[in-house]
Amino acid sequence: MTSIEVRPEQDSDREAVFRINERAFGGPDEARLVDRLRTQADPMISLVAESDGQPAGHILFTPVAIEDSSKPGQVPAMGLAPMAVDPQFQRQGIGSQLVRAGLDVCLGIDRPVVFVLGHPEYYPRFGFRPAAPLGLHFQDHSFDHAFMVAELKPGALQGRRGWVRYLPAFEEV
Ligand SMILES: CC(C)(COP(=O)(O)OP(=O)(O)OC[C@H]1O[C@@H](n2cnc3c(N)ncnc32)[C@H](O)[C@@H]1OP(=O)(O)O)[C@@H](O)C(=O)NCCC(=O)NCCS
C-alpha cells in the first residue's frame, strides 16, 4: 500500500516544490509565486506530501489582512495558496491530507481564520464556506463564487467584514 506522509518543507525540497507546482498548474507562475512568498511571508506554513518517500504535493499558507475600518486591530488570518499535487499523484487523497494537516498547523500557531480562493466543490469538505455572505471579499466581486473562509475556532472571525488582502507577491502573478 502507498504510504503518504505530510511534513514541513525543508531547504532541500525547493527544487521538488518548484517542479510540483509547475507540473500541477501547467506553467511556472505559481512556482515562482511560492519563491517570491518565501521572502515576504511571516509566518509561512509550507508543507510537503511524500508518496512512498517521493515529494508529490505541496501546500502553502501565508498571512492575510482583513481591511475592516469599523473595528480596530486584526484577527489573525492566513490564506491557503497555492496548493499543488503532481498530476501523476492526483486523486489519491494527497491534496486532502495536505489541507487537513495545514489547517491543524494554522490552529497550532493561533491563526484560526483561513481563506482560500479555489474550487467551490473541493474546499467545503474541509470546513470552508463562502465568504461573500459574511461580507468578506477578495479583490472584487467577480471572485465571490470561489472565495471561501474557514473558522477553525467558533467565532474566530469576530464579525469582521471587508476586503481580504494577500501579500504583494500575489499581485505579480
Ligand atoms: C486541486 C488538487 C490540489 C487536488 O489534489 P488531489 O490530491 O488530487 O486531491 P484529493 O485526492 O485529496 O481529492 C480529489 C478531489 O479533488 C477534486 N478536484 C480536483 N481538481 C478539482 C477541480 N479542478 N475542481 C473541482 N474539484 C477538483 C476531485 O473532484 C476529487 O473529489 P472526489 O474525491 O470527490 O472525486 C490537484 O488536483 C491539483 O494540484 N490541481 C492543479 C492545481 C490546482 O488547481 N490547485 C488548487 C488551486 S485552488
> Is 90 exceeded by the pLDDT of residue 10?
yes
Give 76-128 pLDDT, tens digit per residue: 999 999 999 999 999 999 999 999 999 999 999 999 999 999 999 999 999 99
Show me where the domains of the chain are located: 4-172
Q: Which amino acid belongs to residue 72?
A: P
Residue 18, C-alpha cell as written in the block: 518548484
Residue 94 Cβ inside 6 Å of ligand 1? The answer reads yes
**What's the pLDDT score for residue 146?**
98
For the purposes of burial, counting CB atoms within 10 Å of the CB of 8, is it exposed (0-12), middle (13-18) or buried (19 or more)?
exposed
**What's the pLDDT score for residue 172?**
82
Task: Report the pLDDT averaged over residues 58-67.
Answer: 97
Residue 83 Cβ inside 6 Å of ligand 1? The answer reads yes
Task: Report the pLDDT averaged over residues 59-72.
Answer: 93
**What's the pLDDT score for residue 165?**
97
Tell me the C-alpha distance between 160 and 166, whole Å. 16
Residue 33 Cβ inside 6 Å of ligand 1? The answer reads no
Task: Report the pLDDT averaged over residues 58-62.
Answer: 98
Q: What CATH class is the domain 4-172?
A: alpha beta
Mean pLDDT of the chain: 96
Report the percent of the chain where pLDDT is more than 70.
99
**What's the pLDDT score for residue 73?**
84
Residue 148, C-alpha cell as written in the block: 471561501
> How much distance in Å is there from the Cα of 158 to the middle of ligand 1?
30
